[in-house]
Structures are given as structure tokens and as C-alpha cells.
Structure 1
């Protein structure tokens, strides 16, 4: 698939989403999704029944506001559960949240390359997800394979869906720079930057269990650290207590 064709598809989906979401009501949570969540989303399984109900409502609100589309296959219930869960988990502890910088989530069956074509050989950069910029503004593109792998119990500390939604949160203040000002009060910014630089140095010196991609830049560090925080919170609390506490300040809202 060419970049031009993807662009046309995304524009069409964005227009469709704008036209329909103005009238679209929040649908009822499908009861069969409860068991899917219990089986496949550990974050949900750890919640109380009351919190699970709130999680369900937040999922359905998200799905009423974002248009989901796929390339070459039909999205099934588990795909939708994973996408909506990825959106809800980072902001679950906030009383209300809307991704005002997202209109469309486009899902490829597998990894894709920088030209938004299918990654077909080892020379291609195999991308699992990205948040669009420029002409792809307000779009997110995900690999279905990467999305599913992120929720697998065999993929510790790594979740592509959460990673990309944290980038969206970071971007809400106008700059994807690893400092999510919409979550972080100003007095915490300098301590946060200090932690980022210390942890990135550890990563790049091969002295950390944080995924190596987190050493790329501040924005990627935030997204990678958030994956760790939500997927393996107890392990992060033990190995990186300062980082854990700072992310708790960011993501635990009023708790």
C-alpha cells in the first residue's frame, strides 16, 4: 500500500469520524467483553467490580469518540478491546478524559515501514505503531500483531498500544517532548527531567532493564517507562523507586 493511498484512507476516515461522532451516542458495553478483559487485560483483572464497571464505561466513551478502521482484515472484538484498553489505562485515574487530538485509529495486520507500506523484508524498519504528524495529524496507526503482543503475558514491560496513547497524551500540550504538562504540575518538571536524563544514561550504558528504545529521546523514554509502569508496576517500584513515584504522580490522578 502506498503512502498516498493511506493518506486518502485516513482523510476519508477522519471526515467520516467528524461527521458521525457529532451524532454518535455511547453504546452499551457488550457483556461478552467482560470475559475478554478478564482473560487478556491484567490491569482490568486487578480492579474491583466497581472499578471494572467504570473501566467499561470509559472504554465505550472512547469508542464513541474515535473511529477504528483496519487494512485488509475486519477488526474483531478482541482488537477493539485492546485498542480501547490501551486508551483508557494511562488515564483511568482521572475523573474524565477525552483524546481531543485523535480522530482515527488505523490498524494494519502486521508491522509496517516508514512509507506506511507493509514491512516485507529485513531492510524495512518494522514499525508497530505511530502517532501521525503533519498531513497525518490526529491519526494513530497500529500493527495488529504488535497490539496483541503487547497484552501477551510473554511480553513483559512492553505494550505498543499504551506506548502510542502516552505519546498522544504527551502531545496534548503542543510538544511531544517527554514532559506531559497536561498531567504534570510545574514543580515536578525539573525533577522529572533529572530522572529522565539519569535513566536514559543508564539505558545507553547498558546498565538498565528499561527497554533500550527508551534511550532514544525524552519522548520515547516517557512512553517506554509508561509501558513498564502499567505492565510491571511492582517490578518498577522495586528496581526504579524514584521513577515509579514520579510516574505515579503523573498517572494516578486524584489517588
Structure 2
């Protein structure tokens, strides 16, 4: 995510100044008296300032946020729980940007526990940081990508069912509603960062968000250069057929064969969790994900 995109800021400032200038020119060009001309100029200035604060305010808040030291307690959690972060050079630009992405995500997203009143799940920093780290991992090679805002993230204590109840038979570890919240099982979120078995619900559900961001749930993520090209569509069709006939073993887990959207989400999990395996077993799919995410986790 961008902290201070200079080009965007200049555009917004230019629009704001244009409002002010138009207000002044309009006032002076009219037959108004000087008091009315002053009022017109003030109105233009107010509109311009309002536009600038509305459009550029996010980046001012981000710049203020990252100007403070990253919390030492948060850094300790990331070092202990997030392998991706731990592999980044200490005191390097990549680690600093990861930390910035984490705290921007936490500042701009609403994360809270399921339930109400005394029965509402209390969310600790570790759970919040694992969710934010999922976003920072996916976006690490796409510094200009912006996660959709105003999407609630609701954390359940463990797996839940279709009625969002955490019963013994429940097996849903995460879910994304098209225009609603992201749901996570706290237990399974933690396991995903502990096991490294190609199943990470933090990455999985945010991969769905990438897929949905263009208005379609079809396994094609937003902004992919190959999104509308025949090769990617051919890859999805071919791999789904192989998964459904059990001829794509030991690469992606079987759940990837559910549909195009789940194929992409599982492929993303595998790309980050077991990159060497995916690169060796399916170099074509690996290369497409490498180009999209701007990362090559299998190179290390």
C-alpha cells in the first residue's frame, strides 16, 4: 500500500486549487459587489479544501501513522509467528514496508470478535497481526495495490457452520461474502501460520478478496495482465479437469477442484506456503502467480 503517492497528491492538490481559482474568477467576473465577490472566493476555497481533505486525507493519516516507531511488542509477534516476515532482512526497506502495510491495514480495517456483549470474542494483538500479515504477504510485491476499505473482518473462536455457529460438526474455517464481511476461525488462522502445509486460511480468504475486487467471482484476480488472456483460462480449465479426475495429485489440495474461485485461492496458498513444490510440479501456474504477485518465493 502506498503511504504517500506523490503523483496522486499533486493531482488532488491541483483539483483543489482549481476549485479555489474558479470561485475567485467567477466572483470577479460577475457584476457582484465586492462583499459578494469575497463570498464567492471563500466558497471556492472551501470547496477546494474539502475536496483535498476528502481525497488526500487517507494518505496524510498514513504518513502520520508510519512516522511513529513500529511497536516492539508487535515486532516480537511477527518474528515468532510469521516466517515471511522473519526472512526479510532486518533493518531493510522490505521489512520496513511490511511493517507499514501491517499497521496501515490494521488502522483502516475493522476487525472484531464474533458474538455480542459479554459473549463477544476478545481479539488479541496476535490474531489481528496474523490477519494483517496475510494482507501484507499478498501485497508485498504490489506496492501500489490498495485493499478495499469498509469491509468488516469478523473472527470466530473456531470453525463454524452455515449458521455461523461453532458447533462440533462445523467445518468452515473462513468465508468471504461478496459485499459483506470476511469471516475467520481464530484457531484455524493460527494453525495456518504454524503448520506450513499449504493450507493458510488467512491467505485463502484474502485471495478471494483479490478475485472479487473486479466485480466477478471467477478465479481471475484484479489487475492481472493475463486476466483476460486465453492462457490463464486454459490453465484453470485444464487444472480443474485434472483435479476432478484425480490426475493432479501432490500439487494443490483437492478443494481447489471445487470451482474457479477456490482454484485460485488454493493456488495462492500453495504458492506462498509450498513454492518449491508448486514450481517443480506446475511451473506454468507458478510463473503466472509469480508475475502477478511480483514475488518469487521459490527462488530462496
TM-score for the superposition, normalised by structure 2? 0.70
Unmatched 5+ stretches in structure 2: 1-56, 115-119, 296-300
Cα distance, 1:115 vs structure 2: 1.5
For residue 232 of structure 2, the aligned residue among 186, 192, 197 is 192
Residue matched to 2:102: 59
Q: Hey, what's the Cα distance between the residues in 2 that align with 1:94 and 1:252?
A: 6
Taking structure 1 as reference, are residues 186 and 231 closer, same or farther at Cα in structure 2, changes over 3 Å only?
closer
Q: Is the 8 A contact 1:177 1:218 kept in 2?
A: yes
Instruction: Provide the secondary structure at the position in 1 that maps to 2:154.
Output: strand
After TM superposition, give the deviation of residue 184 of structure 1 in Å: 0.9
Quote the Cα distance in structure 2 between the aligned partners of 1:189 and 1:40.
38
RMSD: 2.2
Q: Which has the larger radius of gyration?
A: 2
**Match of 1:132?**
177
2:122 to 57, 74, 84: 74
| Separation of aligned partners in 1, 2:111 and 2:165 | 19
Shift of 1:193: 1.4
- Indicate conservation of the 8 Å contact 2:175/2:182, yes or no: yes
Q: Is the 8 A contact 2:108 2:149 kept in 1?
A: no
- The structural deviation recorded for 1:155 is 4.0
Question: How many angstroms apart in 2 are the aligned matches of 1:129 and 1:101?
Answer: 19
CA distance in 2, matches of 1:84, 1:42: 14
Structure 1 pair 145–192 and aligned structure 2 pair: CA distance change class (3 A): same
Work out which structure has the larger RCO, using CA pairs closer than 8 Å and 6 or more positions apart in sequence: 1
- The answer to whether the 8 A contact 2:256-2:267 is kept is yes
Equivalent residues of 1:111, 1:143 under 8 A apart? yes
Could you tell me the TM-score, scaled by structure 1's length?
0.81
Residue 147 of structure 1 pairs with residue 189 of structure 2: yes
Query: Does 2:197 match 1:156?
Result: yes
Q: How many residues align?
A: 226
Structure 2 residue matching 1:69: 3-state secondary structure: strand
SS at 1:178 equivalent:
coil
Specify the alignment match of 1:97 in structure 2: 145
Taking the TM superposition and a 5 Å limit, the aligned residue runs for 1:230-249 are 230-249=272-291
Tell me the distance in 1 between the aligned counterparts of 2:141 and 2:164: 34
Which aligned pairs between 1:143-222 and structure 2 lie closer than 5 A?
Answer: 143-152=185-194, 154-180=195-221, 182-186=222-226, 189-207=229-247, 208-209=249-250, 210-222=252-264
**Where do 5+ consecutive residues of structure 1 fail to align?**
1-20
In structure 2, what is the equivalent of residue 228 of structure 1?
270
Q: Which residue of 2 aligns with 1:6?
A: none
Aligned with residue 109 of structure 1, among 138, 151, 157: 157
